[in-house]
Amino acid sequence: MTAIANNSAAGPVTIDGVLIDDAELKKRLDKAMFRSRFRAFLLVLPLLLFVFFSFILPIAYFLLQGIYDNSFSSKMPEVTRALKDWDGSSEPTEEMFAALATDLKVVKADKTIGKVATRVNREFPGSRSLFTSTGRSINSIEAPYKESLINKKKKWADIRVWQGMKTASRTWTPGYYAAAVDLKLNADGSIEQQAEKRRIHIKLFLRTLKISFLVTLFCVALGYPIAFLLATLPAKTSNLLLILVLLPFWTSILVRTTAWIAMLQSQGVINDLLVYFGITDDGSRYSLIYNQLGTLIAMTHILLPFMVLPLYSVMKGIPPSYMRAAKSLGASNWTAFWRVYAPQTIPGIGAGGILVFIVAIGYYITPALVGGQEGSMISNFIDSHMRQTLNWNLAAALGGVLLFVVLIFYWLYDRIVGIDNMKLG
């Protein structure tokens, strides 16, 4: 043990019988502080490393593909070099055609021509077959390459193929992010709006925001009354009723989605009841599912507990005497609620609302199962790009935009509620 004797209020101190001055004391104190900070940090370090290597780094690596694409430049180095000096609008030169013939022979031989064709096809739709069919007879192509390639396939004279290749030859490219917000990167590096019928992403983002916003709104509208009821009832009753909120919370999302299919489908419980009560006849059952309505209902149900629980914990902390005081001062029930009670619940609405919104905006499973075409969200679209069109770069760019929106709300949540105030159950 270290024996410390303080001789006077601010004078020199003896430690282990050695007299030390203030500077030395400060140094030792700093050292001790550093050690304890370091020890605390050591406790966090394992998780930090784990999260870094199996979460942060993989996601950063995935998002990198939104701006990095060497699928053309690595396979077609000669063309890439030749295209570098090309202005993107003048007549393609013989050197460019020669480079093309050289590269095509290589990619044909190592069977990667399909990848190259896919890449250019993204920039200029319809050029895939041009590559594959030229590839089949590439060995018969001889100098002069320009004439011989154009003789083989007239389309090689089309300048848009070359523009597409120039755009595709960029290794670091803003093209995918531009595409994610319905813009188009041209061969000369300029950016313009996508053609009217190909502007689909902004619409999809707006739809995703709209669905998330409506779900949040419904959650507030449905969550507020029951949180209020739970907070004002005697503890015995409210704990029982709380089970009705917690049981859905703990039940698998798949189970709840399945349950909503059973409820909402045309032969489902709701429609059966409506027919039974004569609200609609058997022939004209409502389509409540596989559309936006289905997504809204099922997502509101799934996310409602995320709203109720923070609201409930805020409301429980509001002393009932405030309302009583307001009433005794002559306020009507409504005034007492609206002017005294409601303002105090705003932190709860903020906490629950932002949480619901953040979770809703990235939702995948429920829209995929009950949303149909018009009820699907941006996550579903990202997924289909990875699974069906295999355009991981565009998926990464769309994911980057989505993540950016989510992080803004995460930051907002931290500002308003504070991440260390997050509670569960």
Partner 1 sequence: MALPAYAGWGERLWYYTFRFICGLIFLFLISPILIVLPLSFNAENYFSFTPGMLGLDPDAFSLRHYRDILTNGMANPDRLTGWWSDAWNNAQWIRSMRNSFFIGFFATVIATVLGTLAAVGLSRSEMPYKKKLMALLISPMIVPLVITGAGIFRGFSDGARLFNRFGAWMAEFGGLFAWIGQKLENFELVYTHLGVILSHAVLGTPFVIITVTATLVGFDQSLVRAAYGMGATPLRTFFKVQMPLILPGVISGALFAFITSFDEVVVVIAMASVEQRTIPRQMFSGIREQISPTILAVATILVVISIALLATLELIRRRGERLRGVTPT
Binding of partner 1 at residue 29 (CB under 8 A)? no
Binders of partner 1 among 48-87, rule CB under 8 A?
A: 48, 50-51, 53-63, 65
Q: C-alpha angle 233/238/262, rounded to 5°?
A: 125
How many angstroms separate the CA atoms of 79 and 99, rounded?
5
Distances from the Cα of 135 to the Cα of 36, 112, 157, 165, angstroms: 67, 10, 17, 16
The answer to whether the CB of 5 falls within 8 A of the CB of 14 is yes
Rg of the chain taking only CA atoms, in angstroms: 32
Binders of partner 1 among 244-263, rule CB under 8 A?
A: 244-248, 250-263
Task: Output the smallest distance, CB 255 to partner 1, in A.
Answer: 4
How many angstroms separate the CA atoms of 304 and 315, rounded?
16
Task: Output the smallest distance, CB 277 to partner 1, in A.
Answer: 14
Window contacting partner 1 (CB under 8 A); options: 23-31, 84-92, 282-290, 298-306: 298-306
Binders of partner 1 among 114-173, rule CB under 8 A?
A: none
- Residue with Cβ nearer partner 1 (83 or 303): 303
With CB under 8 A as the contact rule, the residue among 173, 212, 265, 376 that binds partner 1 is 265
With CB under 8 A as the contact rule, the residue among 272, 318, 344, 412 that binds partner 1 is 272
Q: C-alpha angle 106/107/109, rounded to 5°?
A: 65
Binding of partner 1 at residue 240 (CB under 8 A)? no
Binders of partner 1 among 170-229, rule CB under 8 A?
A: 222, 225-226, 229
Q: What is the DSSP string of 35-88?
A: HHHHHHHHHHHHHHHHHIIIIIHHHHHHHHTTTB--TTTTT-HHHHHHHHT--S
With CB under 8 A as the contact rule, the residue among 77, 88, 174, 268 that binds partner 1 is 268
Binding of partner 1 at residue 282 (CB under 8 A)? no
With CB under 8 A as the contact rule, the residue among 4, 19, 143, 243 that binds partner 1 is 243
Binding of partner 1 at residue 404 (CB under 8 A)? no
DSSP tag of 5: E
Binding of partner 1 at residue 41 (CB under 8 A)? yes
The answer to whether the CB of 205 falls within 8 A of the CB of 354 is no
- Residue with Cβ nearer partner 1 (121 or 337): 337
Site track for partner 1 across 324-343, x = CB under 8 A: ---------x----------
Binders of partner 1 among 344-373, rule CB under 8 A?
A: 358, 361-365, 368-369
Task: Output the smallest distance, CB 406 to partner 1, in A.
Answer: 6
Written as one letter, the residue type at 257 is: T
Binding of partner 1 at residue 408 (CB under 8 A)? no
How many angstroms separate the CA atoms of 324 and 49, rounded?
53
Task: Output the smallest distance, CB 223 to partner 1, in A.
Answer: 8
The answer to whether the CB of 380 falls within 8 A of the CB of 364 is yes
